[in-house]
Amino acid sequence: MGTSSPALVHAEEFGSEVAATATSETAAKRPMLSASDLIKQDTAPNVLLLKDILFTIKLYPTFLEKQDPSPYAAIRNQLRTSPGVELRKTAKNLKKYLTSPQQVAEFEQKYDALIDKVNELDVICLKRLQGENVPQVSKRDGSVAKDVEMEQLISSTVLDFEQLLKVIGE
């Protein structure tokens, strides 16, 4: 019942030898990766995700310019959905790869400043949605006053984010 034909056994043995030979040949052709290269391979997806988050934050001023239907709801939504919601976890994953205590301390300082700004963006957007300090519509031409406070906070958040990326070598 459990017997295999001699041809099948031979084919299985032959197949594993070919696979082992192909694997060793492939490995021999690949250059040896340094520890630095391996770390870059491990961190690359997280770095790309952080850059995607930064890209979305850089778009926030366009939400403010369009004013429809609510730029504040759009910004809050971006902060609370992917990729924005991944900021904390992704940054903390990258922190594990920092090599010196000075680099870790600088990272933590930049990270804390960035998170404070992101939290402030969220709170201000919520307050605007609740009708607090919303820029008023001009009675003359119907245009909406610029939300200077939000524009400055977004700009400052982008700068903090770029400084955090510099700490991790990006």
**pTM for this model (two decimals):** 0.73
Helix (H, G, I), strand (E, B) or coil at 132: coil
| CB 97, CB 43: distance < 8 Å | yes
What are phi and psi for residue 22, nearest 5 degrees?
-65, -40
Which residue ranges form the domains of the chain, and what is each CATH number? 34-167 (1.20.120)
Tokens at residue 127, please?
């307050």
Range of lowest pLDDT (26-35, 60-69, 121-130, 135-144): 26-35
pLDDT at 23 over 50: yes
Sequential DSSP letters for 51-72: HHHHHHHHHHHHHHHH--S-HH
pLDDT at 8 over 50: no
Summarize pLDDT for 97-133 with one digit per residue, the tens. 888 999 999 999 999 999 999 999 999 999 999 988 8
